[in-house]
Structure 1
Amino acid sequence: MSSNKKIKVLDINIFSRIMSYAMAYKALFIFTAIFSVCLAAVSAYRPYLIINGIDRFVYTKTEEGFLNFVMLILIALIAEVLLQLCFIYLANLLGQSVIKDIRTKLFKHILKFNMAYFNNSSVGRMVTRVVSDVETIAQFFSQGLFMIVNDILKMFIIAVVMLVINWKLALIAFVVLPVLIYATKVFQKAIKTAFQEVRVQVANLNGFVQERVTGMKIVQLFNRENIEYQKFQDINKKHRTAHIKTVWYFSIFYPIAEVLSSIAVGLIVWFGGRELAENNNVTPGEIIGFIMMTEMLFRPLRQIADKFTTLQMGMVAGDRVFEIMDTKSHIDAQGTFKPKNIKGNIDFKDVVFSYLKDEKILKGISFNVKQGETIAIVGATGAGKSTIINLINRFYDIDSGTILVDGTPIKDYDLNFLRNEIAIVLQDVFLFSDSIKNNISLQKEDITIEEIKNAAQQIGIEEFVESLPGGFEYNVKERGVMLSSGQRQLIAFLRAYVSNPSILILDEATSSIDSHSEQMIQFAIDKITEGRTSIVIAHRLATVKNADRIIVLDQGNIVEEGTHQELLNTNDGFYKNLYDKQFANQQIAS
C-alpha cells in the first residue's frame, strides 16, 4: 500500500468521492449548510449593533432606548450561541454518519480479499486505515469543509458590512490581506506535505507495535528486548520528527498572522483617530466596531489555514482509504452453483500454482479423493501440502489446471456455499476473545448450545470444557491465551465437528498436543471421518497409518501414492525413508 502518493492541493476526484457519501444524508447536509449561513450572518450583525449602540447611546450619553439596545445584543449573542451549537452538532453528526458508512464498506471489502493480500500487507497499517484514517475523514466535515464555508461566509459578510459603513476604513483594514493570504497559501502547502509524512510514520509505528505485542513471547524467548527497544526508539524518533515539523510550520505562521492583524488594527486606529479629530468623517463607534470586525475578518483567515489543513488531512486519509477500496485482490466469486448436498469427490487435474511469479509450488499435480475416503498428504516442509488445502478452499486461484468437487470446477460453486461445506482444523489454532461456545459456533444462530454439548460429549471433550470456570461460557481471551495449545486444538476440532462438513481437512491438527489429548483427538478423528471425505496433512503416525491412501509430495510433485503398508514395502521409497527418519521410534497405535 502506497503511502507517499502526491495529492493535489485540492484533489477534485477525492473531494467528490468523499462528498458522494454525504449525499446519502442530503437533509442533514442541507440543514448544516443553512445553519452555517445563519451563523455567519448573526456573527456579522453583532459588531454592527455595537457601532450603532456606541454612537447613539454611549458617545451621546443617551439613556433612552439603551436598555432595548442591550437586550438586542443579548438576543444576538444567544442566537449566535444556539446557532453555533446546532451547526457544530450537525456537522459532527454528518461526519460520523459518513465514516460509519465508509468504515462498513471498507471492512466488508477487506473481508473479501484473498490471502495473498494479507500475506503482503502490514496488519498495523491496515488498522491505521480502518480506524485512524477513517476517523480523519470525519474531521473533513466537522472541522474542515463546513468550518471553512462558515468562515468564508463570515469574512464575506463582514467585508461587505465594513465597506457599506465606511469604505475608507475598510480599505485600510484590507491593506495587509494580500500578504496574509499569500502566507496562508505557503503555509497550507508546507503543512500538507508534513501531514503526509505524519500519517506514514503513524502507520509505521502502529505496524511495529502491533507485530511486537503479538510476538512478545518470541521477543522475550530470544532475549530481543533491547534490540526491539532500539528499533522502537528509531521509529518513534521519526514519528516525533514528523510531528515537530508540523509544529514548526504552525509556530511560524501564527505569529506572522498575528503581526499582520495587529498592523491592520493599528492602521485603523491611526487613520480613524485622525479622521475623527480633523473632520469627524469617522465616528467613535466605527473605530471600535472596525477593530472588532478586523479581528473577526483576520481570525477566520488565520484559522482557515488550519481548517484547510484539516480538509486536506481528510482528503489524504480518504485517498489512503480509497486505495484499499480500489484494490482488486478478490477471489473471482462469480460462481452460483449450490447443489442440495456435496458428496465429497475431489479431483486435482494438472494443477499448477505459485505464490510468486515463476516460483512454482505445485508443478502439475493430479490426484482424486473419492466420497467418504480419507487420504493423508505427507512430505517435507515446503513440499506443497498446506497449499493444496488453501486451493481447495479457494484462498488462492490456481495458475492452470482444474480442481473439481463432485465433477464441478470449484470456480463454478458459490464461494460461501463451498466454504460452508468444508471444515478445517489448523495446526495454529486461532480463537477469538470470546466464550468457548461462541468460538465453536462462531455465533451461527442455527448452532445451539445443546448441539455443541452433544457434539462435545460424542468426541469425549465435554468433561474438559465443563471443568473450566463457566464451562462453555468461559472466555478464552485474545487468541485463546487462557488455554493450552492442546486445549485450543480440541476446541478447534469441536468447532469443525459441529459444522457437520461434507469435506473435513486436518492440517497438522495433532502436532501440538499431549498424549492424552491425542487419544481424544484420534477418537474424534475416527468418528468424524467415518463416511466423510477427509484430507489429512499428516504429522502423527497413527493418522497416517489409518488413512485409506497416502499421497507423498516432494518439491511440488507427487512422488508416491498408496496405503501405509504398500508404501512401506517400497524399497528405498520416499515414504519409507521419511518413515524411518521420523516415525520409526513412535509407537504405532493398534
Structure 2
Amino acid sequence: MKIYFRVLSYIKPYRKQLTASIVFTILYSVFNGLSVYLSIPLLDTLFAQSGLSQPIKKVQPTVETHVFAWIYNIKDNISNYFQDLLFTGTKSEILFKICFLVFLAFFLKNIFGYLQSYFLAYVEQGMIRDIRNKAYIHLHKLPMSYFKNEKTGNLISRITNDINMLQNSVSAVFLNMIREPLSILVFLLIALSISWKLTLFSLLVLPVSIGVISWIGLLIRKQTHVLQEGMAEITTTLHETITGVKIVKAFGMEEYENKKFIKQTNVFYKLIIKIQKLRNASPHITEVLSVVVGSTMIYFGGQLVLVDKTLKAAEFFGFLFSIFQMMPPIKELSSVNNRIQESAAS
C-alpha cells in the first residue's frame, strides 16, 4: 500500500478537479436514484391506481417502532410533498408533470455523469503525464551499467504501458470506491422505503447469483493473464528469430524454429478455446441466474400485491428497478481490489 499511496501523491496538483469530480459523482448517484424512484408515480398514473378522479389522501406519518420506522416517516413526508406537487390538475397535466420530472432527472443524471468523468479524466491524464515525465528524467540519471543489464523493450514498456496501468488506480478509488457505494446506498434506501420485508428477502437471494457471476469473472481474468503470457512467448520467439535470422540460416535451424513456433501457437490456440468457453457461457449463465432471482422476487412480491395487498403494483415495479440497479455497482466493486493490485505491480 505504500507504493499505492506514493502513486496517489501525484494527484495533489489536481485537488480542485478531483473535488469537483467527487461532488458530481454524488449528484450523479442522487439523480440516478431519483430517475428510478419517479417511475413509481408514472406507473401509478398510467395504471390509474392513485384515484386521480378523487382528492388524494395524504399519507399519515408512520408511528411504527420497528427498525425501519424512520425510513417510512421520511417516505411518508416525501410522498405528501410529491402528492401536493404532482397530483393536482387533470390527468393529462399530472402525466405531463411526471414525464417532465423523469426527463429532468435523467438529463441531470447524465450531465453530472459527464462532468464527473471529464474532471476525473483530467486528473488521471495529468497524473500519468507527470509520472511519465519524471520517469524519463530519472532515466537520464542512471549509470551506463544499468542499461547493459536491461533490455531496451523493457525500459520502453515501463515508461509507456506500465505507467498507463496506473490510470486504473485513480479510477478504481475515486470512481468505483465513491460512485458505486453511493449508488448502492441510494437504491437500497429506495428499496427499503418501498418494502423492508421484500428488501431483506432480496438481500438473501442476490448475493448467491452475484457470487457465481463474480466467480466466473475471476476465472476469465486468470485465463486472460495466462493468455497474455502465451502471447508474450510467441512475441519473444518472433523477436529472436527475426533478429537472429542470420544465425538460424547459417546453422540450418529453420525446421527447429518452425516446430518451436508451431508448438507455441498450438498452446496459445488451446488457451483461446478454453477462455472462449468461459466467455461464451458467462452471459447465458448470468441471464439464467438473473431470471431465477427475478422470478423468485416477482413471486414473493406478487404475493404482497395480489394476496396481502400491502404493496401497489407501481411500487413493486419501482422496487424491482431499484434492486436490479444495485447489481452492476456490486459487480464493479468486486473487481476494484484486482485493479489496485495490478496498478501497484506496474
Q: What interval of TM-score do these two structures reach, taking the shorter chain for normalisation?
A: 0.7 to 0.9
**Is 2:93 the partner of 1:67?**
no
**Is 2:18 the partner of 1:29?**
yes
2:341 match: 315
User: Which of 109, 114, 119 in structure 2 is aligned with 1:90?
Assistant: 119
**Cα-to-partner distance string for 1:53-87 (whole Å, 9 max, x where unaligned):** 22245434733321011111111111122122222
Query: Is the Cα contact below 8 Å between 1:136 and 1:317 reproduced in 2?
Result: yes
1:344 match: none
Query: Which deviates further from its counterpart, 47-56 or 205-214?
Result: 205-214
2:8 match: 19
**Is 2:27 the partner of 1:38?**
yes
**Is 2:186 the partner of 1:157?**
yes
Counterparts of 2:302 and 2:207, CA distance in 1: 24
Q: For residues 213 and 113 of structure 1, do their structure 2 counterparts lie closer, same or farther at Cα, with a shift above 3 Å needed?
A: farther
Counterparts of 1:254 and 1:148, CA distance in 2: 25
> Shift of the alpha carbon at 1:51?
0.8
Q: Between Structure 1 and Structure 2, which shows a larger proportion of strand residues?
A: 1
Give the 5 Å matches for 1:496-507: none
> Shift of the alpha carbon at 1:143?
6.5
Counterparts of 1:118 and 1:239, CA distance in 2: 32
1:52 match: 41
Counterparts of 1:208 and 1:103, CA distance in 2: 29
Partner SS for 1:63: helix
Indicate the percent of aligned positions where both proteins have the same amino acid. Answer: 23
User: Which of 283, 294, 316 in structure 2 is aligned with 1:265?
Assistant: 294
Counterparts of 2:272 and 2:344, CA distance in 1: 20
The code of the aligned residue for 1:53 comes to L
1:503 match: none
> Shift of the alpha carbon at 1:141?
3.1
> Shift of the alpha carbon at 1:144?
7.1
Unaligned runs of 5+ in 1: 1-11, 322-590
2:109 match: 80
Partner SS for 2:38: helix
Query: Is the Cα contact below 8 Å between 2:167 and 2:343 reproduced in 1?
Result: no
Partner SS for 1:277: helix
**Cα-to-partner distance string for 1:538-588 (whole Å, 9 max, x where unaligned):** xxxxxxxxxxxxxxxxxxxxxxxxxxxxxxxxxxxxxxxxxxxxxxxxxxx
Q: For residues 106 and 196 of structure 1, do their structure 2 counterparts lie closer, same or farther at Cα, with a shift above 3 Å needed?
A: farther
Counterparts of 2:43 and 2:192, CA distance in 1: 19
2:202 match: 173
Q: Between Structure 1 and Structure 2, which shows a larger proportion of helix residues?
A: 2
Give the 5 Å matches for 1:265-414: 265-305=294-334, 307-308=335-336, 312-313=338-339, 315-319=341-345, 321=346
2:83 match: none
The code of the aligned residue for 2:342 comes to V
Query: Is the Cα contact below 8 Å between 2:21 and 2:116 reproduced in 1?
Result: yes
**Is 2:146 the partner of 1:120?**
no
The code of the aligned residue for 1:268 comes to M
The code of the aligned residue for 2:301 comes to G
The code of the aligned residue for 1:16 comes to F
Q: For residues 237 and 142 of structure 1, do their structure 2 counterparts lie closer, same or farther at Cα, with a shift above 3 Å needed?
A: farther
Query: Is the Cα contact below 8 Å between 1:198 and 1:243 reproduced in 2?
Result: yes
> Shift of the alpha carbon at 1:88?
2.3
Counterparts of 2:323 and 2:30, CA distance in 1: 16
Partner SS for 2:93: coil
Query: Which deviates further from its counterpart, 261-270 or 39-48?
Result: 261-270
Unaligned runs of 5+ in 2: 53-90
Query: Is the Cα contact below 8 Å between 2:124 and 2:170 reproduced in 1?
Result: yes
Q: For residues 180 and 269 of structure 1, do their structure 2 counterparts lie closer, same or farther at Cα, with a shift above 3 Å needed?
A: closer
Counterparts of 1:106 and 1:288, CA distance in 2: 54
Q: For residues 222 and 108 of structure 1, do their structure 2 counterparts lie closer, same or farther at Cα, with a shift above 3 Å needed?
A: farther
The code of the aligned residue for 1:107 comes to Y
Query: Is the Cα contact below 8 Å between 1:173 and 1:265 reproduced in 2?
Result: no
Q: For residues 117 and 211 of structure 1, do their structure 2 counterparts lie closer, same or farther at Cα, with a shift above 3 Å needed?
A: farther
Counterparts of 1:304 and 1:242, CA distance in 2: 28
How many matched pairs? Answer: 306
Counterparts of 1:288 and 1:239, CA distance in 2: 47
Q: For residues 246 and 229 of structure 1, do their structure 2 counterparts lie closer, same or farther at Cα, with a shift above 3 Å needed?
A: same
Q: For residues 277 and 316 of structure 1, do their structure 2 counterparts lie closer, same or farther at Cα, with a shift above 3 Å needed?
A: closer
1:388 match: none
2:84 match: none
- Where relative contact order (Cα < 8 A, 6+ residues apart) is larger, the structure is 2
Give the 5 Å matches for 1:467-546: none
> Shift of the alpha carbon at 1:121?
3.0
Counterparts of 1:16 and 1:238, CA distance in 2: 39
Q: For residues 279 and 71 of structure 1, do their structure 2 counterparts lie closer, same or farther at Cα, with a shift above 3 Å needed?
A: same
> Shift of the alpha carbon at 1:96?
1.9
> Shift of the alpha carbon at 1:264?
2.7
Counterparts of 2:46 and 2:277, CA distance in 1: 47
The code of the aligned residue for 1:79 comes to L
Counterparts of 1:26 and 1:148, CA distance in 2: 17
Q: What TM-score results when the alignment is normalised by the length of structure 2?
A: 0.73
Q: For residues 233 and 184 of structure 1, do their structure 2 counterparts lie closer, same or farther at Cα, with a shift above 3 Å needed?
A: same
Query: Is the Cα contact below 8 Å between 2:165 and 2:342 reproduced in 1?
Result: no
Q: For residues 194 and 26 of structure 1, do their structure 2 counterparts lie closer, same or farther at Cα, with a shift above 3 Å needed?
A: farther
**Cα-to-partner distance string for 1:373-403 (whole Å, 9 max, x where unaligned):** xxxxxxxxxxxxxxxxxxxxxxxxxxxxxxx
**Cα-to-partner distance string for 1:175-214 (whole Å, 9 max, x where unaligned):** 2233245446645655564455455445545555455555
Q: For residues 218 and 38 of structure 1, do their structure 2 counterparts lie closer, same or farther at Cα, with a shift above 3 Å needed?
A: farther
Q: For residues 30 and 164 of structure 1, do their structure 2 counterparts lie closer, same or farther at Cα, with a shift above 3 Å needed?
A: same
Counterparts of 1:157 and 1:56, CA distance in 2: 24
Q: For residues 160 and 260 of structure 1, do their structure 2 counterparts lie closer, same or farther at Cα, with a shift above 3 Å needed?
A: farther
The code of the aligned residue for 1:316 comes to E
Q: For residues 42 and 98 of structure 1, do their structure 2 counterparts lie closer, same or farther at Cα, with a shift above 3 Å needed?
A: same
User: Which of 157, 160, 167 in structure 2 is aligned with 1:131?
Assistant: 160
Partner SS for 1:282: coil
Query: Is the Cα contact below 8 Å between 1:92 and 1:141 reproduced in 2?
Result: no
1:579 match: none
